[in-house]
Structure 1
Amino acid sequence: MGQGSIIGYEINEKTCQISYYNEEQLEPETLEADTDNYQIPLMIGKLRDTWAYGKEAKRLATVKEGFAVTRLLERSLAGEKIEFAEETYDAVWLLSKFVQMSLHAFPQIDGIVFSVPELTEELAQLLRGIAVRMGIDKQHIFIQDYKESFCNYLFYQPKELWQYDAALFCCDRNEIKAYMLRRLKAGLGGGKTTFVTVDEVASAHMKELAAVYPVLNEDKAREADSMFCRFIEGVFDKRIVSSVFLTGEGFDNNWYPKSLRVLCNGRRAFIGNNLYSKGACYTAYRKEYMHIENPVYLSESKLTDQITVNMRVNGQEMNYPIVSWGAQWYESNSQIEVLVDDLQEIDFHVESLVQGSVKTETISLDHLPKRAEYSTRLQIETLFLNEKTCKVTVKDAGFGEFFPATDFQEEKIIHLGGNDGKFSSLS
């Protein structure tokens, strides 16, 4: 791992933000777009033959020189084309150009996690495709939503901050949303793993907030503070909350002193606008360097089944997950290579959190050529056909020049249970 090779990349319709893993500090550090400002405007522009991105592209739009393009995510998903002078650009190409330019300070990227407000399969495919075109290995590209980024940020904070529930308040200039991280019931997965989820517990449109910006209106600020205070009390009702996190441009002005006192009453409170990119960076670190993730974040769209194979990893025998619970099914295609010795078959253990069951699927190795001890190398590949169907393929990978690969190949279709609306039963 090199300095800055692990990236957390927050992106939304307006801005992006980049955090990278600092090896010296052993934690993420956020790239400054300006002094004490981490937000990079999601804009790209061109003046004559020179491309610009972020604040420089925003300047082009302000002075009306060249051209500048906004709404890059929306336009890319819609497959739009943008015309300027005699040139036509695909919106996807422009977004890709923006991402590449914004990451110019990181020549080698070993792993990247994009953090987005709401995750869809189409958005995941878009961002993954951009990262692949940049030369990043597709096995090291992940996309998650803000809630999962919040979870992964907390996992690396002192345990007392999420001993009970942990609250996240997000505020733009007219709406506040409240989320709560909570642990799911103990004993899931044999009790060896901690599972958590994040619920949106409340939201409120507050038109008073609009008057707080850009100049602080004292009367409206006091009114907004009182409303926010009541909102907090409703969110915290009958809950034990260990910590509170505030994020979003709506908290930039200090209009909520009364609410802050309520937030800090018996709990620790934090404010900042780089939580999502840091959380994504922590996720990238976990994906790269942890064989088994614990704790695990679950949501309605996550896999609640895992597929494991018994093997020795770094001298330790374990049930190694080739499909992990808590992953998105469309991000769970994988390929690994293993050395085997005198095996007649490979057992794949399928464990369901919802059903509380474990079943075993077997692939026979009877037709695999016999070789000397530890000179049989197999490739195990998982390919999801849909959210409930995984095809596992075992191939002979050979052993260098000593034993060329043969045409041995066996497949097994494994049917997973999915949530079937039973996710709440895990609570």
Structure 2
Amino acid sequence: MAERYVGIDLNEKYAMVSYYAQGMSEPGTFSMVTGSEAYQIPVCLCKKKDGMQWLYGEEAKRYAKEEKTVCMDGLLKKALASESVESEGTLYEAADLLFLFLKKLLTLPPQNGEEPLPEKIVITTENMNLEYRKLFGLFAERMGISSECLLLLDYRESFYFYAFSQQQELCRNDVVLYYYTVGKLFCWILNREKQTVPQVVTLEEKRYEAMLTERDEAFSRLVKESLKGKIVSTVYLIGDGFDGGWMKHSLAVLCCGRRVFMGKNLFCKGACYAAAAKSGKEDWPYVFMGDNELKLNISLKVERQGKPEFFTMITAGENWYEAGGECEVILKGTPSVEFWFQPPRSMEASVRSLELKDLPLREERTTRLRITAKPVAADRIVFRIIDLGFGEIVRSSEKVWEYMVTV
């Protein structure tokens, strides 16, 4: 059976759903109106007066208006704030309503046989912080979705996966996205270092105030300023701010030597591409270095079957919220553990030694250690080392060493 992936773009007002399976040339996006590009699904619910059915999206809004009942919206913001919502005298937890809405979205993509859920579900939001991760983690728990099945991205990372899943001529040089929505306009510029293996991709972000008057001329000036000195292959225009057909001169400026695309569903399609890339089924020769991504590979130098090698605890490019590593080793030599820190674009590494203070004196190779590395921020790692002893030969001292290392 071909693997299936679902990408959900979720914001305060709308959701969009893309789906991707082996054999498809690109992800498809579900439209609420067959044959159209009505991708945006309002994030709202309404319970029918007979109490037997929940409606969502445009159908919920329509029913609430016709029947003069409550349409519950703002579910994402209220769920993050742990608020309750009242409807027809009944109180509901906003998180429960949001989870019901998401569950309904998962029924939209074409089902394959009797498989109840896709192999990977990817949710992308403008900013994927810790509060969002806790909320969606609870959703996964309620749905019985494993941590391996759920992937959480922000829009920047979704853009990265989308951009580098396109034909090479579209990402040969820098790739730019303008994201224009209520009250704000972002410019994101992706650049890759072609000499490194894997190729390191960085994102430059510029933020601008919303253009209230003479938008065409204002955007023309903004484009010239933001792209000055850049060699750009492709530009993407995303967001409701670009609606209305107001771009005339600015579009001519954008299209000068560049390919330009406009649409709504880039982020949910990028989420599907992320699922495919992270599945490991195909080669992905890039590593993304965004604000939430770890900038260093962290390894232990170990000996396996008499030969030295490096055991990777944390890989550069992993999101710090999700990264972490654990291993068990036999201690050799001094009571300390050395960690090697190496940027992916460098051949050199720095070494930091963590002392195992008050570790009992023992014969060589009779101390087994459990070592864990867990980021608590993009630039801070907590290392935890536990003395396990050596089976029945040497009892554990039950000592634990914990170090916070800034990288």
1:277 aligned partner: 268
Q: Distance in 2 between matches of 1:268 and 1:332?
A: 36
1:281 deviates by: 1.2
Partners of 1:332 and 1:384 within 8 A in 2:
yes
Partners of 2:14 and 2:41 within 8 A in 1:
yes
Q: Distance in 2 between matches of 1:147 and 1:385?
A: 21
1:27 aligned partner: 26
Q: Distance in 1 between matches of 2:312 and 2:283?
A: 7
Q: Report percent identity of matched pairs.
A: 29
1:207 to 212, 226, 230: 212
Secondary structure in 2 aligned to 1:197? Answer: strand
Aligned: 1:154 with 2:157: no
1:416 deviates by: 4.4
The Cα offsets for residues 258-277 of structure 1, whole Å up to 9 and x where unpaired, read as 22222111111111111101
- Number of corresponding residues: 373
Question: TM-score by structure 1 length?
Answer: 0.74
**Partner AA of 1:38 in structure 2:** Y
2:9 aligned partner: 10
1:286 aligned partner: 277
Q: Distance in 2 between matches of 1:203 and 1:268?
A: 23
1:45 aligned partner: 46
Q: Which has the larger displacement, 95-104 or 281-290?
A: 281-290
Secondary structure in 1 aligned to 2:104? Answer: helix
1:255 deviates by: 2.2
1:181 to 163, 182, 190: 190
1:320 deviates by: 6.9
2:82 aligned partner: 79
Q: Distance in 2 between matches of 1:155 and 1:169?
A: 17
Aligned: 1:417 with 2:406: yes
Partners of 2:331 and 2:367 within 8 A in 1:
no
Q: Distance in 1 between matches of 2:339 and 2:291?
A: 25
The Cα offsets for residues 39-69 of structure 1, whole Å up to 9 and x where unpaired, read as 1111112112211111222223333544221
Partners of 1:305 and 1:417 within 8 A in 2:
no
Partners of 1:389 and 1:413 within 8 A in 2:
no
1:10 deviates by: 0.9
Q: Distance in 1 between matches of 2:264 and 2:26?
A: 16
Secondary structure in 1 aligned to 2:148? Answer: helix
Shift of the 175–347 alpha-carbon distance from structure 1 to 2, 3 Å rule, reads closer
1:248 to 239, 242, 253: 239
1:195 aligned partner: 200
**Partner AA of 2:28 in structure 1:** E
Q: Distance in 2 between matches of 1:113 and 1:100?
A: 13
Q: Distance in 1 between matches of 2:177 and 2:277?
A: 22
Q: Distance in 1 between matches of 2:322 and 2:314?
A: 10
Shift of the 125–333 alpha-carbon distance from structure 1 to 2, 3 Å rule, reads farther
Shift of the 108–271 alpha-carbon distance from structure 1 to 2, 3 Å rule, reads same
**Partner AA of 1:96 in structure 2:** F
Partners of 2:70 and 2:88 within 8 A in 1:
no
2:323 aligned partner: 332
1:303 to 289, 294, 298: 294
The Cα offsets for residues 119-176 of structure 1, whole Å up to 9 and x where unpaired, read as 2111121112212321211133222211111111111112332222211112236654
Q: Distance in 2 between matches of 1:256 and 1:172?
A: 15
**Partner AA of 2:294 in structure 1:** L
Aligned: 1:170 with 2:187: no
Shift of the 11–193 alpha-carbon distance from structure 1 to 2, 3 Å rule, reads same
1:231 to 216, 222, 225: 222
1:93 aligned partner: 96
Q: Distance in 2 between matches of 1:308 and 1:110?
A: 30
Q: Distance in 1 between matches of 2:278 and 2:300?
A: 18
Unmatched 5+ residue regions in structure 2? 303-308, 357-363, 389-394
Shift of the 61–231 alpha-carbon distance from structure 1 to 2, 3 Å rule, reads farther
Partners of 2:189 and 2:205 within 8 A in 1:
yes
2:137 aligned partner: 128
Shift of the 309–265 alpha-carbon distance from structure 1 to 2, 3 Å rule, reads same
Q: Distance in 2 between matches of 1:366 and 1:278?
A: 52
Partners of 1:350 and 1:359 within 8 A in 2:
yes
Q: Distance in 1 between matches of 2:107 and 2:370?
A: 35
Q: Distance in 1 between matches of 2:56 and 2:78?
A: 17
Q: Distance in 1 between matches of 2:159 and 2:243?
A: 19
1:75 deviates by: 0.5
Q: Which has the larger displacement, 353-362 or 61-70?
A: 353-362
**Superposed counterparts of 1:322-401, under 5 Å:** 322-333=313-324, 349-352=340-343, 357-359=349-351, 366=366, 383-384=374-375, 388-391=380-383
Shift of the 103–326 alpha-carbon distance from structure 1 to 2, 3 Å rule, reads same
1:425 aligned partner: none
Shift of the 238–204 alpha-carbon distance from structure 1 to 2, 3 Å rule, reads same
Say what the alpha-carbon RMSD is for the aligned residues.
3.8
**Partner AA of 2:237 in structure 1:** L
Partners of 2:298 and 2:312 within 8 A in 1:
yes
Secondary structure in 1 aligned to 2:76? Answer: helix
Q: Distance in 2 between matches of 1:150 and 1:320?
A: 31
Partners of 2:320 and 2:376 within 8 A in 1:
no
Partners of 1:382 and 1:390 within 8 A in 2:
yes
Shift of the 36–350 alpha-carbon distance from structure 1 to 2, 3 Å rule, reads same
1:367 deviates by: 5.8
Shift of the 62–394 alpha-carbon distance from structure 1 to 2, 3 Å rule, reads farther
2:119 to 86, 110, 113: 110
